[in-house]
């Protein structure tokens, strides 16, 4: 990904939290002061802030209407009735969560306490001077800290409790013929070095194998640098493609753009777009203001095994975020042959933004750009369809009963002894 002022990468480790952590955590207390109750006026103000934030900044309202039949803007009165019917804070929070669920995007929701803890822990390791300062400021807002029952001091999350880590697994499917690497998460940089040593040792073993399987079924994202590092140690040549990123003209989006661009006025405007993007959603020309076109690549490393065999990528309908970034890139560039089912999407773009509802202190996390392929195909809308579709993509503990593995064996004309 082309870097601009600060940091702009596809799906860092921050993203996986938006999917792994969504459980409601209630906030209890005995007095009105402790429970931080809201007046009806304050509830309505928070709703209006949220609604306007979504309409002005969120990119997938048109996609949601086409795919899920939800016209979010037309539902405003219904949502407002939900808020007006709330008798207390707990009912208000539940209503707000249900309203954001109508957007049908796993990057877009109200954070819970555990998610905020994990985010704050992760953000302590992110360098300053980047647009992430915007999110860090939200996470450390006194009102948000109080609402979520946290302290100003950031709580360290131990590895055993870290929702951003899952140990990779390696083993042969057919000894000496087909290798297998299972990636359940795209782990963040905290543990990347130890994982890369483990995976690299296995890659040295399989470098002359007939085929290599990378299994990301069930992988809901993490840090794209993780899979890029792995593939850079596998491939025999470099891979490139172009992506587009379209932004609305909301205040929050403009705050982001001011961080990553030296001159916000220099950003190309949608109205001046000359490229032929035959599959670009029609609302982009009407509702979006600016865009970037950036090259995305996986570059062969000096340590690459220069793998000459076939590479298979196993996917399913849970593959999302930075895992989807791998799926869509591998399909677009033919870096690997995809086997499985249609993915979950939303893999082209950068980390979500956060904003705080002004009265309640609840934090809203949302996707901030529409990411498309070079022909304008919106990844969130169309996902990634594998090269070879398998009806049953369930991952089993036995390669002999795993339908995706069986398809690999069929293609390679091999059997498990």
The CATH number assigned to the domain holding 401 equals 3.90.226.10
Nearest to 346 by CA among 100, 135, 64: 64
Q: Does any domain span residue 283?
A: no
pLDDT score recorded for residue 311: 99
Q: Does any domain span residue 302?
A: yes
Nearest to 104 by CA among 128, 129, 68: 68
Please check whether residues 217 and 234 belong to one and the same domain: yes
pLDDT score recorded for residue 35: 55
pLDDT score recorded for residue 159: 65
Please check whether residues 390 and 358 belong to one and the same domain: no
Q: Does any domain span residue 297?
A: yes
- Would you say 367 and 59 are in contact if contact means Cβ atoms under 8 Å apart? yes
Please check whether residues 66 and 201 belong to one and the same domain: no
- pLDDT, tens only, 215-256: 999 999 988 999 999 999 999 999 999 999 999 999 999 999
pLDDT score recorded for residue 160: 63
The residue segments making up the domain with residue 77 are 17-160+352-369
Q: Does any domain span residue 265?
A: no
pLDDT score recorded for residue 265: 84
Please check whether residues 115 and 221 belong to one and the same domain: no
- Would you say 105 and 92 are in contact if contact means Cβ atoms under 8 Å apart? no
Q: Does any domain span residue 322?
A: yes
Q: Does any domain span residue 92?
A: yes
Q: Does any domain span residue 119?
A: yes
Give me the tens of pLDDT residue by residue for the chain, a chain 417 residues long: 334 443 444 444 455 544 455 433 343 333 334 458 999 999 999 999 999 999 999 999 999 999 999 999 999 999 999 999 999 999 999 999 999 999 999 999 999 999 999 899 888 878 778 899 999 999 999 999 999 999 999 887 776 667 667 899 999 999 999 999 999 999 887 778 889 999 999 999 999 999 999 999 999 998 899 999 999 999 999 999 999 999 999 999 999 999 887 678 899 999 999 888 999 999 999 999 999 999 999 999 999 999 999 999 999 999 999 999 999 999 999 999 999 999 999 999 999 999 999 999 999 999 999 999 999 999 999 999 999 999 999 999 899 999 999 999 999 999 998
d(CA 235, CA 305): 7
d(CA 324, CA 152): 35
d(CA 364, CA 52): 12
Please check whether residues 108 and 119 belong to one and the same domain: yes
Please check whether residues 117 and 206 belong to one and the same domain: no
Nearest to 234 by CA among 263, 208, 266: 208
pLDDT score recorded for residue 156: 79
Please check whether residues 124 and 186 belong to one and the same domain: no
Q: Does any domain span residue 182?
A: yes
Please check whether residues 312 and 401 belong to one and the same domain: yes
Please check whether residues 24 and 128 belong to one and the same domain: yes
149-152 long-range CB contacts below 8 Å, 24 or more apart? 149/27, 149/113, 150/113, 150/116, 150/117, 150/120
Please check whether residues 339 and 396 belong to one and the same domain: yes
pTM of the predicted model as reported, rounded to 2 decimal places:
0.90
Domain count, the chain: 2
Please check whether residues 56 and 189 belong to one and the same domain: no
Please check whether residues 118 and 142 belong to one and the same domain: yes
């Amino acid at each position: 990904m082309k870097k601009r002022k600060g940091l702009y990468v596809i799906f860092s480790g921050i993203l996986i939290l938006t999917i792994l952590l969504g459980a409601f955590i209630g906030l209890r207390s005995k007095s009105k002061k402790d429970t931080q109750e809201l007046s009806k006026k304050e509830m309505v103000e928070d709703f209006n802030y949220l609604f306007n934030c979504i309409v002005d900044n969120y990119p997938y309202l048109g996609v949601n209407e086409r795919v899920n039949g939800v016209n979010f803007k037309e539902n405003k009165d219904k949502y407002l009735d939900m808020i007006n019917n709330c008798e207390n804070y707990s009912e208000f929070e539940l209503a707000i969560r249900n309203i954001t669920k109508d957007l049908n995007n796993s990057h877009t929701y109200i954070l819970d306490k555990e998610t905020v803890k994990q985010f704050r822990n992760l953000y302590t390791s992110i360098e300053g001077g980047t647009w992430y300062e915007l999110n860090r400021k939200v996470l450390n807002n006194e009102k948000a800290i109080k609402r979520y029952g946290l302290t100003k001091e950031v709580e360290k999350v131990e590895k055993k409790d870290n929702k951003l880590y899952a140990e990779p697994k390696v083993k042969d499917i057919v000894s000496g013929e087909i290798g297998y690497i299972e990636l359940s998460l795209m782990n963040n940089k905290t543990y990347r070095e130890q994982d890369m040593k483990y995976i690299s040792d296995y890659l040295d073993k399989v470098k002359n194998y007939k085929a290599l399987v990378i299994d990301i079924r069930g992988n809901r994202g993490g840090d794209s640098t993780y899979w890029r590092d792995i593939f850079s140690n596998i491939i025999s040549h470099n891979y490139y493609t172009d992506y587009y990123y379209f932004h609305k003209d909301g205040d929050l989006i403009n705050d982001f753009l001011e961080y990553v661009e030296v001159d916000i006025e220099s950003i190309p405007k949608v109205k001046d777009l000359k490229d032929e993007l035959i599959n670009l959603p029609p609302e982009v020309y009407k509702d979006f203001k600016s865009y970037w076109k950036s090259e995305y690549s996986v570059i062969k490393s000096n340590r690459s095994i220069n793998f000459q065999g076939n590479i298979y990528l196993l996917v399913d309908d849970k593959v999302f975020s930075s895992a989807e970034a791998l799926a869509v890139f591998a399909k677009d560039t033919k870096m690997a042959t995809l086997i499985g089912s249609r993915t979950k999407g939303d893999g082209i773009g950068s980390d979500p933004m956060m904003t705080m509802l002004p009265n309640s202190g609840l934090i809203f996390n949302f996707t901030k750009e529409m990411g498309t392929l070079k022909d304008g195909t919106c990844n969130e809308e169309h996902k990634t369809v594998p090269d070879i579709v398998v009806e049953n993509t369930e991952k089993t503990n036995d390669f002999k009963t795993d339908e995706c593995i069986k398809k690999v064996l069929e293609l390679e004309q091999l059997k498990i002894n």
